[in-house]
Structure 1
């Protein structure tokens, strides 16, 4: 493998990236060329949402090619293009061969939710203390248990209020990890919905791999009232979804929301005030879990 490194101004990042893909680059990465220097810049934006700009003032683009000839040919072809003005080639160099599968797997160790509840990739054995285990490998859909928002939701599930989880809805299910966790903790029946069909398929596959029964589908598959409604998305869509999510919470039921930064708590409280009273139930690494209960 060989990588081609380029220095590109902000307004050229998109055009050069598209050209590299057209030139059969295996991958294209973009990073701040001034990272770790006084000139470093942050691209601000809510996590998971598009950044306000395409790149940094000086971006380093790294494109991976299968051989040196391909990398050098790409550099030569780019240099002849008008849109490459202001850009420059930093280097073409060999990339050390690695066992990429083993390297990727090494980055995903078992995740402890509680001493008895763990998320364990299939290439690891569960810890001896584990009594409930979700088998989940990194995939196309969000939710491997490594993010604070997912861990907080699963902790809440593991310590669910008296009376149990009952009929449960996982809205924006991603990998299905919350729906699976709820099922393992006695929720029945469980509906998992997402706007992304790939997420729905991932949820079905992961549920089958974990031996749990649930119903997964697009958002219109959610119907009626639930004792537990879970939604780990982001603050902006959660605010828009306030009336819909609250309408699904039955009398005495619980609403559990995540994907919210600590500084966004007041916004969520205000958005949900006409329907339910939210409060912060957990916090980790700048993220919060917010919950509400519909009075009996």
Structure 2
């Protein structure tokens, strides 16, 4: 089953706003209240304007969306006009397939849609999934940064691995395939949990990946399995800052965390929050405007 075929008897709509960089995070949070995945694209490099957009069922969550947008305007000081583009599901799927060629990432990975007929590259680890309504297809700079970071730290052979906010499950699958270790993949969105399970099965990784519903570190099951040797957290800048203390607490000594979902301009804020909790910066990887941080917990903490 393609992850895009989401119980759609109705049409889809793309909702979007165009805002200055300082307002991106607020509006990304707002749109994510009703959209399972949100994309951020540079709209005007000279003016530093960004387009924040998501795809949802037409008419779904209108009251929640209106309230979230009002809050975003209040907290950012930027009132953005919401744009809507309506499309039939089949038409959206076709355009998605056309714009999703195989993505080579780093030296080890290639991410391919299920619609591709060409043989996979035998020299790379192939992850098969479809770009769609659960975040993570190998195209976005934050996902690519995480995969590159995984390559860099793989020699440490982490045993206990957590993908916090797994989306499509791409990072959990990459870690399981590269390290041959079990991965706990969690997400606050039930649809993402289901998609991760389906993608794990499609890639022959079901025995290594356990996908569970969970709200970050407040989830008892996540805390119970700590400490972790490797944690992926490809989320948003502000939630990352808020979770820094818990992350440090549940990370094993010498454990590694890969943080993403932040613009390079947000790196300093996110890094400072984690350094205050005792974590040490090892690398800052850049994929265009997007930053990925590799941090480590000292052996004696």
| TM-score above 0.5, yes or no | yes
**Residue 187 of structure 1: CA displacement?**
4.6
Runs of 4+ in 1 over 3 A off after TM superposition: 25-32, 40-44, 51-55, 59-65, 98-103, 126-130
**Residue 128 of structure 1: CA displacement?**
3.2
After superposition, the Cα gap between the structure-2 partners of 1:286 and 1:129, relative to the gap in structure 1 and judged at 3 Å, is same
After superposition, the Cα gap between the structure-2 partners of 1:139 and 1:121, relative to the gap in structure 1 and judged at 3 Å, is same
1:229 maps to 231
Q: CA RMSD in A?
A: 2.8
Who wins on radius of gyration, i.e. which is larger? 1
After superposition, the Cα gap between the structure-2 partners of 1:105 and 1:29, relative to the gap in structure 1 and judged at 3 Å, is closer
What do residues 43-62 of structure 1 show as CA deviations (whole Å, max 9, x unaligned)?
83216222535743xx7765
2:262 maps to 260
Contact kept? 1:265, 1:280, Cα under 8 Å: no
TM-score normalised per structure 2: 0.68
1:49 maps to 29
Which region of structure 1 is more displaced relative to structure 2, 246-255 or 141-150?
Answer: 246-255
2:46 maps to none
Structure-2 separation of matches of 1:126 and 1:276? 42
What do residues 64-121 of structure 1 show as CA deviations (whole Å, max 9, x unaligned)?
69xxxxxxxxxxxxxxxxxxxxxxxxxxxxxxxx966443311111111134410011
1:182 maps to 175
Structure 1 portions without partners, runs of 5+: 1-24, 33-39, 66-97
Structure-2 separation of matches of 1:108 and 1:230? 24
Structure-2 separation of matches of 1:192 and 1:209? 16
What do residues 240-264 of structure 1 show as CA deviations (whole Å, max 9, x unaligned)?
1112222221111101100111111
Alignment of 1:201-216 (within 5 A): 201-212=194-205, 213-216=208-211
Contact kept? 1:268, 1:278, Cα under 8 Å: no
The reply to whether residue 120 of structure 1 matches residue 120 of structure 2 is: no
Structure-2 separation of matches of 1:41 and 1:270? 26
Higher-helix-fraction structure: 2
The reply to whether residue 277 of structure 1 matches residue 275 of structure 2 is: no
2:63 maps to none
**Residue 153 of structure 1: CA displacement?**
0.4
**Residue 186 of structure 1: CA displacement?**
1.2
Structure-1 separation of matches of 2:245 and 2:19? 38
Structure 2 portions without partners, runs of 5+: 1-9, 31-68, 74-78
The reply to whether residue 251 of structure 1 matches residue 231 of structure 2 is: no
Question: SS state of the match for residue 253, structure 1?
Answer: strand
TM-score normalised per structure 1: 0.69
1:108 maps to 100
The reply to whether residue 218 of structure 1 matches residue 213 of structure 2 is: yes
What do residues 111-143 of structure 1 show as CA deviations (whole Å, max 9, x unaligned)?
111344100111113443543100011232111
**Residue 26 of structure 1: CA displacement?**
4.5
Question: SS state of the match for residue 160, structure 1?
Answer: helix
Structure-2 separation of matches of 1:134 and 1:61? 32
Structure-1 separation of matches of 2:189 and 2:91? 32
Contact kept? 1:252, 1:295, Cα under 8 Å: yes
Pick aligned residue for 1:134 from 104, 127, 139: 127
**Residue 190 of structure 1: CA displacement?**
0.8
Structure-1 separation of matches of 2:121 and 2:86? 43
The reply to whether residue 287 of structure 1 matches residue 279 of structure 2 is: no
